[in-house]
Structure 1
């Protein structure tokens, strides 16, 4: 059993916290990871900055631009993550990013490096499912890494069941249309129907809801429809222009967890 599965078996209402590696400053990655876990985060999702992040809204896009300007890249990140498991020994940690930098780095080399530093899974929203199943799934298995797939209100039942069969982690339910950190109010009735439809499918993997969750009320609402929630943009926004990023991140989690 991997750390992700263990977390879902041991806890309810899991909080998955996203932050961008190398933001606000280059060397904040590990201090933020430790502060978030110490404050109560159940899963960490570390964003790999990329110049063209298609699923990310302006807040995370801006944090990626700052991180890249700070000097963050994959070799630097893997160097920082050498000390990851000394800082957070038991918490599931995911890397979230886009396929292009992984391809440039070399897919198997990337997966091996991720496994070596103790990463549990990957979220690559632009990885084609056919390509994953035919080419990369055996490599993920070789290195003990779990793929996390996104589901939207428009995803067909056939595709959802295929994603569920291919995953051994959790399914990432995108709460509605748009990118991360959106401020448009959702269609509550349509969202309710979406969450209930997914729940009725009795999928084998647990579910976390993300996109647009910014506070304790949103977290609690997501937990009423799934196994927990993912928060990213709201934390990134809170970290802008602060003197002590780890302390700010810790306070943010404490407020969400109540």
Structure 2
């Protein structure tokens, strides 16, 4: 069973998924951060693959991508870093990125490399749903990779149901139609979350965008299976001189 499925079947609620940018703040911090997140109590890690034009990301994550690329991070470097990480890391790890670098790497080569190192799923916001269904779905499934799609408050019910039928692992519910890092709370989104809950989707739902602290995490969990925190975490480690301590303190602040 895929580790994402195992997580939702055993825990199911209050899932904490933390986003971090591979190769940030320093090139070889990637696995150190993933291990520290696991030790601190995160349930899942969303590992960002830096890209020069990240459409869904706000300025903080864009800046982290720019810094990681300047550090020398590339997809080939990332797979080299992840080569043995499963000897210590047991929680699910999802790669988040954009289609262009994956195409340059070669889609099958990318999927094979993901399977070889132990990646569980992918989030590719600019991969069209129809293109995935008609071209790439058999390849992703061959290598045991769950593809996770995003929905927004404006996504129609018909499209949500189509996304749910194609997604595996979970559905990523964007809390607002904006980029990451906007300091919006959950106020006014109750109807949107209630609509998703009432649809009885086959996949669990994790809420992302704007989740930054204990309060917003709890608000998201009240209407879904858990939440994804990105920008706030990236900020928390930006100038860290002690990653282990800073990561432990951040996660404790969310879960305490």
TM-score, length-scaled by structure 2: 0.98
In structure 2, distance between residues paired with 1:76 and 1:187: 37
- Once the two structures are superposed, residues 54-98 of structure 1 have per-residue CA deviations (whole angstroms, 9 ceiling, x without a partner) of 00000000000010000000111000000220120x211100000
- Once the two structures are superposed, residues 81-132 of structure 1 have per-residue CA deviations (whole angstroms, 9 ceiling, x without a partner) of 00220120x2111000000000000000000001100000000000000000
Distance 1:105 1:208, change over 3 A: same
Match of 1:226 among 217, 224, 227: 224
How far the C-alpha of 1:168 sits from its partner, in A, is: 1.9
Q: Which runs of structure 1 show a deviation greater than 3 angstroms over 4 or more consecutive aligned residues?
A: none
Is residue 66 of structure 2 the alignment partner of residue 68 of structure 1? Answer: no
Is residue 56 of structure 2 the alignment partner of residue 58 of structure 1? Answer: no
Q: Which structure 2 residues correspond to residues 91-106 of structure 1 after superposition, within 5 A? A: 91-106=91-106
RMSD value, Cα: 1.0
Q: Which structure 2 residues correspond to residues 108-147 of structure 1 after superposition, within 5 A? A: 108-147=108-147
How far the C-alpha of 1:186 sits from its partner, in A, is: 5.0
Unaligned stretches of 5+ residues in structure 1? none
Is residue 216 of structure 2 the alignment partner of residue 215 of structure 1? Answer: no
Aligned to 2:199: 201
Unaligned stretches of 5+ residues in structure 2? none
Contact conserved, 1:57 with 1:181, CA < 8 A, in 2? yes
In structure 2, distance between residues paired with 1:48 and 1:150: 17
Secondary structure of the corresponding residue to residue 82 of structure 1: coil
In structure 1, distance between residues paired with 2:145 and 2:107: 12
Aligned to 1:107: 107
In structure 2, distance between residues paired with 1:102 and 1:177: 25
- Once the two structures are superposed, residues 153-188 of structure 1 have per-residue CA deviations (whole angstroms, 9 ceiling, x without a partner) of 0111111101111122100000012100112x3572
Contact conserved, 2:164 with 2:171, CA < 8 A, in 1? yes
Contact conserved, 2:102 with 2:110, CA < 8 A, in 1? yes
Contact conserved, 2:186 with 2:219, CA < 8 A, in 1? no
How far the C-alpha of 1:42 sits from its partner, in A, is: 0.3
Distance 1:96 1:187, change over 3 A: closer
In structure 1, distance between residues paired with 2:198 and 2:244: 39
Aligned to 1:169: 169
Aligned to 1:26: 27
In structure 2, distance between residues paired with 1:186 and 1:17: 18
Q: Which structure 2 residues correspond to residues 142-161 of structure 1 after superposition, within 5 A? A: 142-161=142-161
